[in-house]
Structure formats: structure tokens, C-alpha cells
A and B are shown apart, each in its own frame.
Chain A
């Protein structure tokens, strides 16, 4: 039994690591792209001055590492394991070892939701650490007084998790979930379960004769029972469909055109983002028109979908706009997506793209603003510092393989656009620069998907003229 418990704890941590690293990596990428952690005193102060701010800050700090899914998975594994070990310390009844996994399993379930934030996990951990410190260091009345005094301090540091009373007004507004009005029941359950287990422990201590399951077998069985039940709940509640969609978005973000086609060839996507990304990858390979109908299509909504007012769906479409050279359309789409982030955070991905669109458009001071912010980050700093010297350097931009090409492709004739991309827009783009093969493929694909033969004939006649 001496080695069995550490082994079980280790296996739990390993399971969490493998789950987030192998089955759920794009959920972590999704989380990372909807925040921008800045090493900046104003940014830190704005967060920590709110109740729950310290937990929130730690949550945001750790989420920036989710850019690398395995690092993110490791962080989650360490945190959930630490919470299990602290739970065990707090209940301090060794045969209840199996139940010490309950809060961690509930937090695992909580994190299956792509809008659940890491601040909640940190809030639980910090509360446990404070409770453990007080229980270890003080006894009797000192302990009681310290516990009472700790609650308001903890409330300020970690928010309502420290006092898990399910009152909406206490929880709504705490930054545990991206939807500010959602009550995070699973997080509440995790926090409450620790109190519940501590209550059970007290009962056991008061009535030791009634609770005497001391055999190693019973401990093992209880642990196995918790692991099987909670593990299957986690597995069944994981949203693998969303994971697949997020994967397409991730691949488009990183311009992994070959990987997209490999993925598509294994299983053809049947969601809008997947089809949009699939068509972009086909076009980037120059085979969109040849292979258009070899894959699932969703009419023109699978080519260049109308821009919606949410943070997620416009981003893959914006990748297509960007590659086409529709720089202002990209800029608008990305800006709007960032504005739509529900908890008002900013996005490293969006800042980067906005710096690029402003650079291509020659709006260097605006680009500098985004780059200056990215200089204050851990993982975008190098890119920002490489890009800053380009500002104002027209020759270097012209020579740049991406920005120079996109400047050539971009519209120089002004017209108005809205949420809907029209064939006229693609035609204008193509005739501005007939080397823009992507615009040609998208325009002809547009006619093929809509069955607009007249439009196609007119376009071909225009080319001949």
C-alpha cells in the first residue's frame, strides 16, 4: 500500500497528461488564442485588484503556455495532481484515498469545456494551500481564528471558490468561465467536494467504530471505483467533435496545408470550419477546382462563409481572406473576432494578424502599437522584435516573401464590402493582379458551387478581352 498510493497518484497525473496531450490538444490551443498575457504592471494590476484576481492572474499566466499543447497538458496534470495530494492531506484519512481524487476529477470535467478558465483550478489549489497551512501550523482557537480571518483574504485572492456557497450573485462575474453569466457548477462541485470530504473526515473521527474500513483491499477498491466511474464520465463528456473543428482552425492558423489535406483524406469534414479550411488548403495547393467535388462541400458557405459575430468561426475564414490578399476584409474579420471574445480579453493570434494587416497596408504606427504589446509577451516577443524593423522599410516589405506577395495581391481599387463576399469582389481582386491564382480558384469555385453559368461565362469573356 505504501507504493500503491503514489503509483495511483502518478497514474492519475499521467492520464491527465496523455488526455490533454493526445486527445484534447486543440482545446488548449483554443484557450491560448483567446487571451494575451502581458508582462506589464498595468495589466497585472488591472487583474489582481479584482476579487479572485490572483487566481485569475495565475490562470492567465499558465494558459499562455498552452500555445504548446504538451506543456499545457503537463501544467494541468501537475495542478490536478497537486489538488489530489492536498485533498488527501486535508482529509487525512488514508483509507479514503480513493475519494481524494474527486475534486481533481471534477476539475478535469470542468476543463473539458473550452470556455472554462484555468483561474478556477488555481483558485481551488490556493484555497487548499491556505487551508493546509493553517491546519498544519495552528491548533485550537488560533486555528479557528486564522480560518475565519483567511476567508475574506482568500475571497479577495481567489474569489468565491474559497467559500463554495452556490449563490449566483457571488459567482457570476468571477472570472472562472469565459461566459460571465454562466454558473460554473463543476468548479463549485470541486470546491464543495473538498469541504464535503473534510466534513466526512470529521464524522469518521467522531465515530471511529462505525467507520473502520482499514483494509488495503477496500482502499484499492474504492480508488478503482472512483477512477472507473469518474474516468468514464470524463471520457464520455469530452467534446471530440469540437476538438476536430479546433484542429482545423489550428492547422489553418499555422498554415499546415499538407497536414490539412492528410487529415481531410482520412476523414472528410462535415462542419463549416473544416470545409472552409479544407478548401483553403486545396486552393493553396492549386487543386481546388480539380478536386472541389471530391470532398464535402457546403455551398458558398464552405468557401468564404459570411462573417458572424462570434470569436471562433470568423478566424479560419480570415485565414482565407488573408491568403487571398483581401487585407482590409481580413483586418475587419480578425478585429471583430477579437472584440467578440466574451470575457473581453485580447488575443495573441489576433494581435499578430492585426500587426501584419496594418504593416501590409502601410499603417505602421498602428502596427507598432500591436507589436509593442506583443513585445511584452513570452511567446510572441521574438516575432514582434523581428517584425518591428520592417515598419516603414518599403524595400524590405517588398522583398518579404509573405508581405511583399500580399501587397501585390491586395486590392488597390476601393469598394464597400459587408459580411458577405460577392463574386464581384473576387473578380476585382483577380483583375487587379491576374497572378493571384487563389482569387481565380475561389471565383471559379464560387460559380461552380452556385451553378452560376452566366457569371462564369461573363468572367471567361472578361479574361479573353
Chain B
């Protein structure tokens, strides 16, 4: 009986294998190409985490009739994929191959069939880093527009598969959702802003229900905007910004988002009160993008001198929904003076002490990176959680670098104070928002290199010495179909250590309910 069962199984497996191989075409009489293949996304020579989803890819050109890819390791294991559109690897086999090659390289041989027959390209390597990446990514999906928004939402994506889930979408309420933030990727503690008619800041602790807050107080500029959690989970640093925007008539940088006033404060989650410092709410400067250091004893932020000197009443503007700046409000300002003023607005990276025990700030502000002296501007400082580095975006001016094609990522070595460009991560197009994985070995970064407009997430590895590998795009099952068909930007991509378990029904109830808990001020 057992023998018969084994024979049946073997027969079944043979038939299945025959059926599977019958569906693929053998690469024969292939012309050997000297160069490596041009593939989309560009995964040639990248370093990947052991738990990443299959790096399915297409040929960069669209004339290909069949694509055949064989991934092999140094232990004679291999993985084969063939399709008319893309190399689509079996997800289980992929993970199994990666697990067996942690810290080792894989070799990929790509053959492509065109009208004139098969072409086989020089193999390329993919290095499997022993450093794993966090469970997933959380991001907002929004069209890269100007003032008006259509459908948008916050989504989470499992990085080891292709599964994407919405946390909350603006079909559940009237308004806009932005600035999702977690404490070092831990989704148990979460902050989220809702803007518009039902404006609120949603906070949750330890996976509890969300509470809707009104963050506007009579001692601060307005609503809390850019958040960053203190490593203890007790505090959240926020900026308050009077944000406006203007549009470029000829520059490929379509939009310029700028502040006409901005300050910083820290929110004590336990005591429900804002902690203020006169050094962080000076009229003569704009302070924004606050982040705590890895040990929680410093607050880094960006600072620019108020060179705009616009005496405009922007009290009506709703923070984080930049409204179009009415040029008529600025008397005697011609088109070109406005240009000169905005284009000379440059931010430095600064630091102030913070005592987490007392919630008190230091007595002085230190400039850590003086970008303005080099005619450059810093935005989005993000310290690695191991305290070694701080990654920031450097652009020609301003602080909303996603609209700056020249914006690149730089790495500040916090031990030496030296900064250098992250060559492997950068491209000729925009690099902007970024953050670290919880083990501080991976960086997720927003880039517009794919088509010049729609922001996509990329990942690069940063070792303990600060060596940065070539960035690779977030894998998709059918990358060309997916990225070409998605008319939305991945906004503020950030790591999460597990599923967010976000109760969107409870959240939308809280949003649509009029009750808001007010922030207090110490």
C-alpha cells in the first residue's frame, strides 16, 4: 500500500514537473552579450536583506518577448523564472534560497528573447546581507499634487511579501491624513494627523484605542505638525508651521512649500502638556523637523534665519495643508524679488540638550551642520537608532526637498562630525524623506528617480563604518505594471516592526466625532 502511494506521488510529481517545464521555453542558440542586462527595477549589484520579497524584474525595454532568469548560489541551489513580462520568482523558493545564503552572494543570469532570438547577458550579483530588515513599511499614498487632494490614505506593506493593507483612507471621513509616526518603528505607539473639516491629531499608546486631540493652544503658533517620538515613548517632538506654497513657472521643481513662521515644542504624552522653550520659538528664525537623538538627550532640528520678512497674516492657513500663497498679500514684491527671497531661505542642522527626566531644554542651540554657509539647506534629519549616524537631505534651498530635483542624502558621522554624500543611495533626481530600520543597518528613502515625479521607496544598507550600498526599489509582483499604473507617491515611508493592527473603524469614529481632547501647556 505504502509502495503504491510512493509510486503515485512520484508519478504525480513527474507529471507536474513535466507540465511546468512544458510551459517554459529552453534558452537556445543565445547570443552572449558582453554587458549586464538593463532591467527594471535596477537590481544589478544590490545588497538585500535576507527577508525581502522576491526581486521580480522586467527588461528595461518593452520589446522583449520572453524573459528568463536563473538565480544560483555557491551551493548549487538555483531558482528559475520565465515569463513574457517579468521574472516572477516563487516566493517560498526565493525565501528559502535567501535563508541559505545569508552573508553570501547570488548570481543572476538573465536571458531575453527578442524577435531575432535569445540574448544572454553577463551575470550580475545580488548580495544577501546578514542584517535583516524590519517587518514592513508604512506610508501615505497621495498624488503628487499642489493644493487639492483626491483619494489618499495610510497603508502598510509587508516587506517579505507583496501584501499591502490600508490603515485608514479619506473615504472614511472628509479631509486629509498625514504625518504617521511610530516610536522607533513600533506600531504600538502611533501618532497621525487628520486635516480639514474633522481636523485632529490621533494618538495611541500600547495598541490602545486612538484618542483625537486638538493640538492648537494659545501659546503656540497653531496645530502640531512634524512629529518624532522620544525613545522612551513619553514625549513627542512637534513643529508648528505656518505653511504656504507657490508654484514654479519654468523650473522642473514644480512646487515650493515654505513656512512664513515655525516653532518647536515637545509634548509630554503622560501629562498631556506641551513643553516650550524660548530658544525653540524665536521670531527671527524658523525652526522645523525636530528629532530626538538615539539616547533621547538631544533634540536635533533645522533652523533658518527669517529672510522672507513677509508681513502677511497667515493665521487662516491650516498647518500641513499648504495653501497657495497669495502674492498680492506682499506689497511691493515683484515676481523676481519673491524668487530671490525664497531661494535664499536655507536651513542649518542644529541641536539643543533635552533632559527626559525633567522635560527641560538646554540653555544654548549648537549648529551641527552649517549648510547655509555652503549655499545649501538641510531637511529631514534622522539619527540612526544606534547613535552612530544622522542622515539628512541636502538641497539648494528651502525645507520641502521632495520638490527639489537636486536634493540628495548626506550622512553625518556623529562621532567625527563629518558629513558626506550617500553616493550609493543618491541618484540624479530627488532623494528626500528617509528613516532607519530598528537595527540601524537599513535606510528607507523616498526618491523620484523612477520617472521624475512619483515618489517611490528605495532601500540601501549602511554598515557600521558608514558604507552605503546601491539603493533598490521596493519589490512588486509585476513591477512595471504596478509602478506605471500607480499614480500616487509613496509619502513618508517608515519602517514598522509588525502589523499596525490599526482599528480604522474606531479611528474614523473618533475623527467624525466632534470631541477633541485639548493639549495643555506646562
Contact = CB atoms under 8 A, between A and B. Distances in A.
Contacts of B481: 42
A425 B146 CA distance: 20
A229 to B, nearest CB: 38
B334 A420 contact: no
A309 B148 contact: yes
Contact of A335 (B145, B326, B451): B145
Interface string A403-427: 0000000111111111110101100
A381 interface: no
Interface stretch (B251-259, B273-281, B301-309, B491-499): B251-259
Contact of B454 (A369, A415, A422): A369
Contacts of B249: 326, 328-329, 411, 413-417, 425, 428
Interface in A438-462: none
Interface string B241-279: 000001111111010100000000000000000000000
Interface string B328-365: 10000011101100100000000000000000000000
B517 interface: no
Nearest to A413: B250
Contact of B336 (A173, A341, A415): A415
Nearest to A344: B151
Interface centre among A341, A344, A411 (most CB of B within 10 A): A344
Interface centre among B151, B327, B328, B334 (most CB of A within 10 A): B327
Given A369-B487, A417-B246, A363 B252 contact: yes
Contacts of A282: none
Interface in A169-226: 173, 180
26 contacts: A42-B481, A180-B171, A309-B148, A329-B247, A335-B145, A335-B146, A339-B149, A339-B150, A340-B148, A340-B150, A344-B150, A365-B450, A366-B452, A369-B453, A373-B485, A411-B249, A413-B249, A414-B339, A415-B248, A416-B248, A416-B342, A417-B248, A418-B327, A420-B327, A422-B335, A424-B334
Contacts, number: 117
B327 A336 contact: no
Interface of A: 40, 42, 173, 180, 309, 326, 328-329, 331-332, 335-336, 338-341, 344, 346, 361, 363, 365-366, 368-369, 372-373, 410-420, 422, 424-425, 428
B162 to A, nearest CB: 13
Majority secondary structure, B binding face: loop
B87 to A, nearest CB: 20
A346 B487 CA distance: 10
Contacts of B150: 338-341, 344
B244 to A, nearest CB: 9
Contacts of A418: 246-247, 324-327
Contacts of B339: 414-416
Interface residues of B, number: 38
B148 A428 contact: no
B254 A328 contact: yes
Given A416-B327, A418-B324, A420-B328, A309 B147 contact: yes
B451 A415 contact: no
Nearest to B483: A369
B143 interface: yes
Interface of B: 143, 145-151, 171, 246-252, 254, 256, 324-328, 334-336, 338-339, 342, 450-454, 481, 484-485, 487
B308 to A, nearest CB: 12
Nearest to A351: B487
Contacts of A344: 150-151, 171
A465 B419 CA distance: 51
A71 B251 CA distance: 43
A335 B247 CA distance: 13
B247 A416 contact: yes
Given A332-B254, A418-B324, A422-B328, 20 more contacts: A40-B485, A328-B248, A328-B254, A331-B254, A335-B146, A336-B148, A339-B150, A340-B148, A341-B150, A365-B450, A365-B451, A366-B453, A366-B454, A411-B250, A416-B249, A416-B325, A417-B335, A418-B246, A418-B325, A418-B327
B377 to A, nearest CB: 17
Interface centre among A42, A340, A369 (most CB of B within 10 A): A369
A30 B307 CA distance: 46
B451 A425 contact: no
Contacts of B251: 414
Contacts of A372: 484-485
Nearest to A43: B485
Nearest to B341: A416
| 8 A-B pairs closest in CB distance | A365-B451, A416-B246, A415-B335, A344-B151, A339-B148, A414-B250, A414-B251, A339-B150
A271 to B, nearest CB: 22
Contact of A328 (B247, B328, B336, B484): B247
Contacts of B148: 309, 336, 339-340
A415 B338 contact: yes
Given A365-B451, A366-B453, A415-B338, A339 B143 contact: yes
Nearest to B256: A416
A428 to B, nearest CB: 7
B335 A425 contact: yes
Contact of B324 (A40, A368, A415, A419): A419
A40 B486 CA distance: 12
Contacts of B147: 309, 336
Contacts of B327: 416-418, 420, 422
Nearest to B152: A344
A61 B263 CA distance: 51
Nearest to B329: A418
A336 B342 contact: no
Nearest to B244: A418
A369 B456 CA distance: 14
A17 B517 CA distance: 57
A443 to B, nearest CB: 14
Contacts of A331: 254
A31 B57 CA distance: 39
Nearest to B170: A344
Contact of B247 (A40, A413, A417): A417
A309 B176 CA distance: 15
A344 B148 CA distance: 11
B89 to A, nearest CB: 21
A428 B251 CA distance: 15
A256 B14 CA distance: 68
A413 B327 CA distance: 18
B404 to A, nearest CB: 13
A369 B339 CA distance: 31
A363 B254 CA distance: 12
A140 to B, nearest CB: 42
B246 A336 contact: no
B112 to A, nearest CB: 21
A42 B247 contact: no
A57 B521 CA distance: 52
